[in-house]
Amino acid sequence: MQQNSPIKIILLFDISEQYGQNLMMGIVRYFKENSNALFCKVPFYYRETLGVNGIISFAKEWGAQGMIAQIKNKRDAKKIKDAGIHLITEDFHERFDGFPNITGGYFQTGQMGAEYFVNKGFKNFAFYGYKNIVWSRERSIGFESYLKERSFEVFYFNHEDDAQITDLWHYKPSALSMWLQQLPKPIAIMACDDGRGQHITEACKHTNIRIPQDVIVLGVDNDELSCNLSDPPLSSITLDTEKGGYEAGRLMESMIMGKVDKPSNVLVLPTYIVTRQSTDIAAVNDECISKALTFIHNNLDSDINVTDVLAQVAIPRRSLEKKFLQVTGSSIYKYISKLRMQKFSEHLLKTDKRISEIAYESGLNFTNNVARQFKQIHGCTPGEYRKKHLPGK
């Protein structure tokens, strides 16, 4: 529904990284497709120089009706609300009760990272992040939960606060370097985001720790600039951030129009993992299983089956199946099927092709059985999955 007078919305959050950029694109896209809005992108440093009172004063002068912002504390959030400005907060530190938050499926993100590592045959795991930041803390909880269910231990390097987020300490020997040296190898490390993932890759250089031979590293956000600045390039979990921004735009319009009494949180969810050089290896001592895993991952685009995998190793099928199950927790057939389903899920979000066509390109024949398997994994049909994660669907 188009409005005669545009809604005025202040955007006050960090767009120096891809997460914030995608969030803003989703917000703007919603209003372009569904309504009429004017945006004021307030420089993020104004939060410090003007303070919340200065921001409120400017917002009133401009005639802002809504604000989507990173707010330091609940007290400041309440001031904005009391000024008659509808507020959606981004939980860059903690969620605020009583306010709609742009938050995330952080627990699921941690579990996705852990599953990815286990599928590569790793037995040693670590997490690097921040104790007092909700998105880092809950990702670590999800990560550890998945691994503890499988009797694995998790090593931690946690900062008590975020004071060092913008420092360059990781470019020289540090406590992080010492921690990395002491970890058992090979080890799979999940970082709370791509910035911290780059901390790991830089710190490994100081201690001559090889990536991915000794350590593999996985980040979150799939910030392409950060991931490709990393040496080696960083693998990362992709989030449906633009969809989250789109839904935040929808929620803001509903709040301003008085259509919602108790606005709920907006969830940004993990979707798939982009593999780059930092995790491009299978950590298995057994040469046969290592060969089998490498062959599967390198040839997933081809129509491979269990017989093709057997041809790569010089042991009987029963012996290979037994060893493969011990390392991955899955049969060879189920392992290949699961990877193909992951690829299918990824391409549902990366292309507008027909679902049956994407299934075929992913090595799947789109039948009722495939649709049923997909629903068992994701809790929805492929069409519903697209609608869930893509903006404007």
Confidence grade of residue 294 (pLDDT, cut at 50, 70, 90): confident
What CATH number does the domain located at 287-389 have? Answer: 1.10.10.60
pLDDT at 2: 47
- Domain 106-239+273-279 matches domain 287-389 at the CATH topology level: no
Q: What is the pLDDT of residues 120-172, one digit of tens each?
A: 889 999 999 998 899 999 999 999 999 999 999 999 998 765 544 445 555 56
Q: Match 């991931």 to its residue by tokens.
A: 227
Give the phi and the psi of residue 126 in degrees, each rounded to 5: -145, 160
Which of 198-212, 294-308, 354-368 is least confident?
354-368
Per residue in 255-275, pLDDT tens? 999 999 889 999 999 999 998
- Rounded to whole angstroms, the Cα distance separating 120 from 6 reads 51
Compute the distance between CA of residue 264 and CA of residue 109 in angstroms, rounded to an integer: 21
Domain boundaries, the chain: 7-104+241-271, 106-239+273-279, 287-389
In the prediction, which pLDDT does 346 show?
87
Q: Which of 196-205, 234-243, 252-261, 283-292 has the lowest mean pLDDT?
A: 283-292
Residues 11-64: pLDDT tens digits? 999 999 999 999 999 999 999 999 999 999 999 888 889 999 999 999 999 999
Q: At what angle do helices 18-34 and 241-256 cross, to 10 degrees?
A: 50
Model confidence band, residue 369 (pLDDT cutoffs 50, 70, 90): confident
Nearest to 273 by CA among 298, 237, 240: 237
For residue 132, what are the CA distances in angstroms to 72, 135, 175, 376?
Answer: 13, 9, 19, 34
Right CATH number for 106-239+273-279 from 3.40.50.300, 3.40.50.720, 3.40.50.2300, 3.30.499.10?
3.40.50.2300
The whole-angstrom distance between residue 203's C-alpha and the CA centroid of its chain comes to 22
Mean pLDDT computed over 79-91: 96
Q: Tokens 């981004």 correspond to what residue?
A: 90
Does the structure show a pLDDT above 60 at 205?
A: yes
Query: Could you name the CATH architecture of 7-104+241-271?
Result: 3-Layer(aba) Sandwich (3.40)
The closest of 139, 129, 137, 136 to 107, measured between CA atoms, is: 139
Of 99-108, 174-183, 188-197, the one with minimum mean pLDDT is: 174-183
Residue 360's pLDDT is 83
